[in-house]
Amino acid sequence: MDIAWDDLRTILMLVRHGSLAGAAEALNINYTTVARRVRRAEEALDQLLFERLPDGYRPTEAAHLIAENAERMENAEHDMLRRLQGTSTELSGSLKITAPHVLIANFLSPVIDEFSKAHPRIDLRILATTELLDLTRLEADLAIRISRNPGDTLTGVRLLKQDTASFANREVAERIRVDPTAMIDWLVYESHPNLPKAISPEFPNNRARLQFDDVVAMIGAAQAGLGVMRLPMFLGRASTGLVQVPVLPPQPYADIWVVGHPDVWPSQKLRALRAILTKHCKAQSHRFVA
């Protein structure tokens, strides 16, 4: 009759991931435990919840019904955790922030350094990823994002305006200077394989030579002289061996925002982090514009 709530959560994860191993990883427990909890739940409810197939556990109708409601429970849990974080005045405990890895590597390290020294009791975790983590699920407490619109359900503050321009290594830059009409090789993003539209008419011959899915790899290729690439100013300037070339005149790019869920936003920990962050951004804003 009575069913343990942790078992409901386990069933939810098993329905979501389809295998004991997947659910176990999500719950950070051993998959054997998942199997045992499922069996216990089946006994408690006197109902088969999963068909055991060679390629995984297939949920029955009853399991789907449970998962649906366990999801509501999960939402309530997330709401609770966010509000708890939001009303917390303690400068201790964990704090997760996420930002694109290039921003962390080339710009945010001093902020992280200063914050962790100022608040040693806060266990700060950095999630360097370009994925948009779900702040509602508290996958991160705060996100620093390069975006034209920071999301309507989130609270946000614009930290920096930034420009992009074209960059290449010295050798390539010199070749272009000597003969602006020669063919210019571009390194482009797989997701935006077209050449920039605003290329200056002084450089009439351009072609996309290589496509990349990763900006760090792309910078490496540019440093090796494989071609010209479009980069945010701060990144081009921070990449040794690259110099700005006049092929693509500087132009505005997506701004840099710090965003968070409104429930979490008022937390003292986040206030403290934002204070250091905005101070640093103001002091360094010149690095981002032409």
- Phi, psi at 209, each rounded to 5°: -95, -45
In the complex, what is the shortest distance from the CB of residue 89 to its own copies, in angstroms, rounded to a whole number? 10
> Binds 113, which of DNA, its own copies, none (CB < 5 to 8 A, cut-off by type)?
none
Buried b (16+ CB within 10 A) or exposed e, 87-99: ebeebeeebbbbb
Distance CA 218, CA 226 (A): 9
Q: Which of 32, 51, 52, 94 binds its own copies (CB under 8 A)?
A: 94
Query: 29 or 195, CB closer to its own copies?
Result: 29
Query: 57 or 288, CB closer to DNA?
Result: 57
160 with 194: CB under 8 angstroms?
Answer: no
Distance CA 267, CA 285 (A): 26
Q: Which of 32, 92, 109, 205 binds its own copies (CB under 8 A)?
A: 92
Distance CA 30, CA 152 (A): 39
Binding residues for its own copies restricted to 8-27, rule: CB under 8 A: 8-9
Q: Determine, following the binding rule CB under 7 A, whether residue 151 of this chain makes contact with DNA.
A: no
Distance CA 77, CA 60 (A): 25
Amino acid at 58: R
Q: Determine, following the binding rule CB under 8 A, whether residue 39 of this chain makes contact with its own copies.
A: no
User: Which positions lie near DNA, rule CB under 7 A?
Assistant: 6, 19-22, 29-33, 35-37, 40, 52, 54-57
User: Which positions lie near its own copies, rule CB under 8 A?
Assistant: 1-6, 8-9, 28, 45-47, 61-62, 65-66, 68-70, 72-73, 76-77, 79-81, 83-84, 87-88, 90, 92-94
